[in-house]
């Protein structure tokens, strides 16, 4: 699991559970079925160290949309009593204190009156494949999340390297690379020369990682950050090979901004390319 803070959704697991549940609600199915489908899709969390994060995210999200189920609330409160997930932050700068504070806030929410049930609209189908292969865009970091990662006001370069599908509904989405350099001003194609690809995974010495596993996804037109994207040009991509079987969903509203944490994580960290599109973390001696 990747973490970048101690707030409830500053880790991959709670974001995954929240988004999975909300996606099912947007399909206009009932809450009970959305819950069951979420548990089935996230069943790998059950019995794992991340299991409390599943119940925290599900309880918080259900409460926000006015659909909190008694069994979900009970599970979340049970894990709160046990400081569920605290061990994941024990080696952080402040230990698990920040996470325990987050759990305290969640307990207060779950003990308060739940909002009225909110209407969840079915998303309008939009074009997920706007760029040409090898198009390069500069993205301007601008949100509070970017400020949290220390990249607000900076530019990064994104390049489309291919196309693919994440599911069986026929939607074609864009595979991308991100270049491992931040710019104070609007960059050019020349600024790409000699810049490595930014790994969008966490350093590990246990397995090889894929360099082209990202797909940009947006739920609606408002999520596509057109005003913060500038077309730079079209140029052949380095390591431009799409490797099937290594897929990772990146929402435009969340993923592009969240890329900021990888600039921080990989700053000064070495990796070696072992084959086209793959790399291995070089563990310091």
Residue 223: predicted pLDDT: 77
Residue 257: predicted pLDDT: 79
DSSP 121: P
Distance CA 272, CA 285 (A): 15
From first to last of its 285 residues, what are the pLDDT tens digits of the chain? 566 777 888 888 898 899 899 989 988 999 999 999 999 999 988 988 889 999 999 999 999 999 999 999 999 999 999 988 888 777 666 767 888 899 999 999 999 999 999 999 887 777 888 899 999 999 999 988 888 889 999 999 999 988 877 665 677 888 888 898 999 999 999 998 888 888 777 665 444 555 555 777 777 777 788 899 999 999 987 754 434 444 444 444 456 777 888 888 888 777 655 444 444 444 444
In the chain, count H helices and then E strands.
Answer: 8, 9
CA–chain centroid gap for 34, Å, is 21
pLDDT in tens, 83-134: 888 887 776 667 678 888 999 999 999 999 999 999 998 877 778 888 999 9
CB 42 within 8 A of CB 54: yes
Please list the alpha-helical segments (H only) found in the chain: 12-26, 31-41, 51-64, 70-81, 97-110, 144-149, 252-258, 260-265
CB 28 within 8 A of CB 122: yes
* Cβ neighbours of residue 148 closer than 8 Å, sequence gap 6 or more: 4, 5, 260
Residue 255: predicted pLDDT: 63
Tell me the β-bridge partners of 11. 3
Residue 277: predicted pLDDT: 44
Residue 193: predicted pLDDT: 87
CB 96 within 8 A of CB 53: no
For 68, 85, 100, 120, the CA distances from 109, given in Å and listed in that order, are 11, 18, 14, 21
For 25, 31, 106, the CA distances from 28, given in Å and listed in that order, are 5, 9, 27
pTM of the shown model: 0.55
For 135, 174, 194, the CA distances from 130, given in Å and listed in that order, are 10, 8, 27
């Amino acid at each position: 699991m990747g973490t970048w803070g101690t707030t409830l959704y500053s880790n991959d697991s709670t974001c995954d559970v929240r988004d999975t549940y909300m996606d099912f609600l947007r399909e206009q199915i009932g809450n009970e079925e959305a819950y069951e489908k979420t548990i089935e899709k996230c069943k790998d969390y059950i019995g794992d160290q991340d299991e409390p994060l599943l119940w925290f995210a599900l309880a918080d999200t259900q409460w926000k949309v006015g659909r909190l189920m008694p069994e979900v609330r009970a599970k979340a409160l049970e894990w709160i009593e046990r400081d569920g997930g605290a061990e994941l932050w024990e080696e952080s700068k402040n230990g698990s204190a920040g996470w325990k504070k987050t759990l305290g806030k969640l307990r207060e929410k779950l003990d308060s009156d739940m909002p009225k049930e909110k209407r969840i609209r079915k998303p309008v189908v939009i074009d997920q494949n706007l760029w040409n292969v090898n198009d390069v865009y500069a993205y301007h970091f601008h949100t509070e999340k970017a400020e949290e990662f220390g990249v607000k006001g900076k530019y990064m370069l994104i390049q489309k390297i291919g196309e693919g599908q994440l599911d069986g509904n026929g939607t074609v989405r864009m595979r991308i690379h991100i270049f491992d350099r931040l710019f104070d001003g609007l960059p050019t194609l020349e600024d790409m020369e000699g810049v490595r690809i930014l790994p969008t995974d966490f350093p590990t010495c246990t397995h090889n990682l894929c360099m082209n596993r990202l797909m940009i996804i947006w739920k609606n037109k408002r999520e596509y950050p057109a005003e913060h994207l500038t077309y730079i040009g079209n140029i052949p991509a380095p390591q431009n090979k799409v490797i099937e079987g290594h897929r990772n969903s990146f929402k435009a509203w969340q993923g592009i901004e969240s890329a900021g944490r990888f600039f921080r994580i990989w700053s000064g960290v070495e990796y070696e390319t072992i084959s086209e599109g793959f790399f291995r973390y070089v563990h310091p001696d």
